[in-house]
Structure 1
């Protein structure tokens, strides 16, 4: 097999806002760092956002980036697939370089999620917000030009508490993000910050920019009349043992017209379950079937929760309508930092519409990663596409 030269395995795209997207298919931390060095001039940038495949050694990547770009902060995480300007990818490292001109960025890490409390999560967010205000000033006119990003360990089972605490403390700064992934292994994820790789952590990024921004969420499902009540579960581990007082996998399979042996991530992607909160439906996606016939979920679950089996709507049409709306609202869309559920990727593959998803994301300059869960405001979601859209025109 022919070995790719560095200039063949790495690409870059400059956006009108001065943001540079660079991505490498080297397949190793050392190779990816070498590729990015050839594309990114650290003197021009104030922050790197880095999303990387689980085959990449996280510790080596953190050390390599710190050595290659001294003084240039890095924040990011491992993924369940990457989104590049070329389309959907695997085994890559994707970097978004935010320029010094037009962007002011502060970051921090929230460690030890296992012992996180609402108070400690909120305190970390307040400290970072104060840091941003000291740097930029607390100006009312900046409200439409600020946003927060959060990358949370997708195997921590702490996303709900973490994101609700952080969103509350940010006091109006819109927050979006994604739960770090591990391909489809569901083993261990990694977060990058401060020159090292973290586990059981969340990385928080606050940005003020001169460009208009909008955070968004988009999904593509509609509820049916089929109901599943959680009658026995382990909330801490997000495991449901019984639905409607029957073995969970058996009851779910019956509700979607399948056998338990057919319950795969593809099946879960095609037949999500949703909960109703405040008049709206939100997905509570199933992660896997366990050996004892129980079901592990991506989101918080509890006894008495009423789950509704949902049917998918047209993913392309739904996402295209939302991105077109944002393009009009911002007076021209420059790029989207996007977080898309891994189950949506699997569903697109099963329905053979993945090339159309890639074309849509390329057209709207979406860069980001596939997640184990998505964050929007103070909520942790599943089977959703969230992100922040950045307009290309500065205010006069």
Structure 2
């Protein structure tokens, strides 16, 4: 695989792209991440510079690569050889992304072979659309057994505005996606969470699925049930919720659902859907450095010679690692495991049929 990873802190968009993407000649695919302020300018200039490439971008809280973590920086990955790729966009994702499903079908039809292919998608956040997006994409991908990985875009961490882009156009209510086929080997997907179950298990007995609100756990108002489990009062529950998310149990796997807020009627709003009568468990922080070491060991066993990786890193994890002074060490440590990689940090992660939070997901190319 022939590729280049570059970055720039130049304020002028054209100069930044020339620095970050310098040396790229005819890339088949460009991925880029930046802060919100310069994102539109980067999108426009990138398409001018590389008119024949598929160019997909997302706003981010922070960008990561094997050298470290970077804010207010343009980060670019350009792949010139070793892949086949086709991309498009789902629009109106907060209402009816299924209207655009033919765009997914057309991309799949262009693949010479769906083997060793993934769908990488970036979605705008804060509009509760991820589950609708996944349903649309997987209605086509599932037939061809093409796995999916992606993330919800980020911002400064204040939940104000996120954006994604494709081929010179910026979107604020859309999902941009690209099918990437590795011509030289497999692509393996992994997820990592740094939380562990407590003894407090619940059944979600009353929910508003579309609004992501849990009204009752075990037939009790959700906030009261959670306060009881945490041995506190409902009016003091807020500070606990930042690092006490829910785990949705699906078969033998678990997906994290981050708390959003306690509502006046003692229900709790979340950042991912919890379905009626689903099993959930209250989570608590694990020793995250030990978890990370186990993830690295598994990747090294599975893929001794990785060529490139694309990571999705939760905004909440990024903030936690920043507060602990660990974010740069973490970025470099992941580089030791997978070699060259790029990552952005946003409000949600997606893997196959599931949308979740406070997790790391990564695609590693052989």
- TM-score scaled to structure 1, two decimals? 0.81
Deviation at 1:310, TM superposition (A): 1.4
Deviations 1:320-367 (A, max 9, x none): 322332233233123321001122223334555435423312323331
Deviations 1:91-146 (A, max 9, x none): 222111011x222221101111122255x464332221112x2xxx23xxx623x2
Deviations 1:184-234 (A, max 9, x none): 222321111121101110011111222322122222332222134545544
SS at match of 1:270: coil
**Distance in 2 between residues matched to 1:249 and 1:92, nearest whole Å:** 40
Deviation at 1:59, TM superposition (A): 2.6
SS at match of 1:166: helix
* Preserved CA contact (<8 Å) 2:94 2:127: yes
Give the structure 2 partner of residue 45 of structure 1.
Answer: 27
Give the structure 2 partner of residue 300 of structure 1.
Answer: 273
Deviations 1:142-186 (A, max 9, x none): 623x22101111223121121133134122122111111223222
Deviation at 1:381, TM superposition (A): 1.9
Give the structure 2 partner of residue 321 of structure 1.
Answer: 294
1:98 matched to 2:79? The reply is yes
In the superposition, relative to structure 1, how do residues 207 and 262 fare at CA in structure 2: closer, same or farther (>3 Å)?
Answer: same
Give the structure 1 partner of residue 351 of structure 2.
Answer: 376
* Preserved CA contact (<8 Å) 1:180 1:189: yes
The partner residue of 2:105 within 126, 131, 150 is: 126
Give the structure 2 partner of residue 36 of structure 1.
Answer: 17
* Preserved CA contact (<8 Å) 2:90 2:97: no
**Distance in 2 between residues matched to 1:41 and 1:351, nearest whole Å:** 36
**Distance in 2 between residues matched to 1:289 and 1:58, nearest whole Å:** 33
**Distance in 2 between residues matched to 1:229 and 1:80, nearest whole Å:** 34
SS at match of 1:186: coil
Deviations 1:289-315 (A, max 9, x none): 457765331101345444311123232
Give the structure 2 partner of residue 285 of structure 1.
Answer: 258
Unaligned runs of 5+ in 2: none
**Distance in 2 between residues matched to 1:359 and 1:94, nearest whole Å:** 16
**Distance in 1 between residues matched to 2:77 and 2:273, nearest whole Å:** 31
Give the structure 1 partner of residue 5 of structure 2.
Answer: 21
Deviation at 1:32, TM superposition (A): 4.2
SS at match of 2:304: coil
* Preserved CA contact (<8 Å) 2:29 2:79: yes
* Preserved CA contact (<8 Å) 1:110 1:201: yes
SS at match of 2:138: helix
Give the structure 2 partner of residue 148 of structure 1.
Answer: 119
The partner residue of 2:196 within 207, 222, 234 is: 222
Please say which of residues 43-52 and 198-207 is displaced more in the overlay: 43-52
* Preserved CA contact (<8 Å) 2:260 2:270: yes
Give the structure 1 partner of residue 96 of structure 2.
Answer: 116
Give the structure 1 partner of residue 151 of structure 2.
Answer: 178
Report how many residues are paired: 359
Give the structure 1 partner of residue 226 of structure 2.
Answer: 252
1:386 matched to 2:361? The reply is yes
Give the structure 2 partner of residue 163 of structure 1.
Answer: 134
CA-based RMSD of the aligned residues comes to 2.6
